[in-house]
Structure 1
Amino acid sequence: MSNGWAVELLEFLGQYGVAGIAIGLMIEVIPSEIVLGYGGYLVSAGKISFLSALIAGMFGGTMAQLFLYWLGIYGGRPFFDRYGKYLLIRPKHLDAAERWFHRHGTIVIFTARFIPVIRHAISIPAGIAKMPFYQFTVYTMAAMIPWTILFLFIGMELGAYWEQIGKVAGAYLKPIIIIALSGLLAYFLLKRFIVKYVSKKRK
């Protein structure tokens, strides 16, 4: 990781153990895979347990997305057009997220978590569309489980070299993206088949 300030921030937050990992994910200043990689390093160093790191990752990652979801509900698109740059969300990212959400429906809240660019902004159109809170939370938390486990393990493997996770992560992200897109395609094909089957039965 090239930014010294990011390393210093993570090491500062690391003093607070699992709470620091959760906070690092909630503020979203540093990519979640890097925060979780550092969390994995703390696990390998015996400073925190794997279970507590997993819980912190799930909680922090979910809360970060709930924050954007609520801003989508109460601020709408005009809020992000004006202030999105301060949240590192550009209009083109939001445009792409809105297209995905309206084209694929609520299931994309889960699958889009594994796709770069889209995953950072997908919570916003969900909030604007007033997607049910419980449904949004369940999909988001479900996606955070494998994401958190993966990067904690990578951080544990890297150990003291956790700063290299930015270079290593790419090799893992490509198959994850393929799996997520394949899962989304399979979901819609199955859904389409069920709709046709039900309509035939009614006739």
Structure 2
Amino acid sequence: MFERILEILTGLGLPGLFVGVFLEALGLPFPGSVLVALAGFLSRQGELNLIIAWLVALLAYLLGSVSAFSLGRYLGEPFLKKWGKYLGVTSDRLAKVQELLTDSAPGYIIGGRFIPTVGNITPYVAGLSGIDIKRFLLFDSIHAVLWLTTFLGAGALLGRNWQKIINGSWFTWLTVAVAVLLVLYLAWQLWSAKEKNKL
């Protein structure tokens, strides 16, 4: 898979990066993190300019997020119930995500987008929830900066060793550890919000 994405990205360049990151931000099942890391790798090889790649990816991510947010805001729950199956949205998952967003918007939007399946539906549910778009964009931009800097930077720093590292067992454990930390952070945010509501 990595070789195929690398081949496509090398051929398409920045437009390919833009489209891939836009699809990722829309919540479609697309290996966006891998694509961004490979863009970092290509920048190390002199195929792409790292700063321009970062800016293009940021623009694509924010446009994709705003598009998904707008679909949630203006087409609402009927849209998600009809088309949500393509995003992995079930009624139970939708209810859970709405609860998380209500209890802790910053923690959910910034941290939750790193969690597979939960992150995919975040902008739709945010639009549906009625959260102010400026607030959403602030938290989503923080997530985008963290995500892009991490994966573009990793791809650029690892260079030719990226595949060995990604296939290594320690990388799997590191990924699991990061996911667990994010879940714990979200749980803490929820608990704090509930405690405040009791007062």
Equivalent position amino acid for 2:178 in 1: I
Name whichever of 155-164 and 127-136 sits farther off.
Answer: 155-164
Mark the structure with the bigger radius of gyration: 1
Match of residue 174, structure 1, among 163, 173, 176? 176
* Aligned-residue RMSD, C-alpha: 3.2
Which residue does 2:70 correspond to in 1? Answer: 70
User: Any idea what SS the aligned residue of 2:46 has?
Assistant: coil
Match of residue 21, structure 2, among 22, 25, 30? 25
**Cα distance, 1:163 vs structure 2:** 5.8
Write the distance in 2 (CA, Å) between the matches of 1:153 and 1:163: 15
Instruction: Confirm or deny: 8 A CA contact 1:93 1:117 kept in the other structure.
Output: no
Which residue does 1:89 correspond to in 2? Answer: 88
User: Any idea what SS the aligned residue of 1:23 has?
Assistant: helix
User: Any idea what SS the aligned residue of 2:88 has?
Assistant: coil
Name whichever of 22-31 and 96-105 sits farther off.
Answer: 96-105
User: Any idea what SS the aligned residue of 1:122 has?
Assistant: helix
User: Any idea what SS the aligned residue of 2:47 has?
Assistant: coil
Alignment map for 1:12-161 (pairs within 5 Å): 12-28=8-24, 29-86=29-86, 88-91=87-90, 92-160=92-160
**Cα distance, 1:77 vs structure 2:** 1.4
Write the distance in 1 (CA, Å) between the matches of 2:195 and 2:93: 32
Q: TM-score, normalised by structure 1?
A: 0.75
**Cα distance, 1:157 vs structure 2:** 4.2
**Cα distance, 1:16 vs structure 2:** 3.8
Write the distance in 1 (CA, Å) between the matches of 2:56 and 2:20: 10
Instruction: Confirm or deny: 8 A CA contact 2:100 2:190 kept in the other structure.
Output: no
Equivalent position amino acid for 1:149 in 2: T
Instruction: Confirm or deny: 8 A CA contact 1:112 1:122 kept in the other structure.
Output: yes
Name whichever of 186-195 and 119-128 sits farther off.
Answer: 186-195
Instruction: Confirm or deny: 8 A CA contact 2:104 2:189 kept in the other structure.
Output: no
Write the distance in 1 (CA, Å) between the matches of 2:123 and 2:23: 15
**Cα distance, 1:97 vs structure 2:** 2.0
**Cα distance, 1:22 vs structure 2:** 1.8
Write the distance in 1 (CA, Å) between the matches of 2:61 and 2:93: 19
Write the distance in 1 (CA, Å) between the matches of 2:121 and 2:150: 21
Write the distance in 2 (CA, Å) between the matches of 1:81 and 1:59: 28
Name whichever of 89-98 and 114-123 sits farther off.
Answer: 89-98
Equivalent position amino acid for 1:17 in 2: G
Which ranges in structure 1 are unaligned for 5 or more consecutive residues? none
Instruction: Confirm or deny: 8 A CA contact 2:101 2:108 kept in the other structure.
Output: yes
Instruction: Confirm or deny: 8 A CA contact 1:37 1:165 kept in the other structure.
Output: no
Residues 189 and 94 of structure 1: is their aligned pair in 2 closer, same or farther, counting only changes over 3 Å? closer
User: Any idea what SS the aligned residue of 2:60 has?
Assistant: helix
Residues 42 and 33 of structure 1: is their aligned pair in 2 closer, same or farther, counting only changes over 3 Å? same
Residues 166 and 73 of structure 1: is their aligned pair in 2 closer, same or farther, counting only changes over 3 Å? farther
**Cα distance, 1:140 vs structure 2:** 0.5
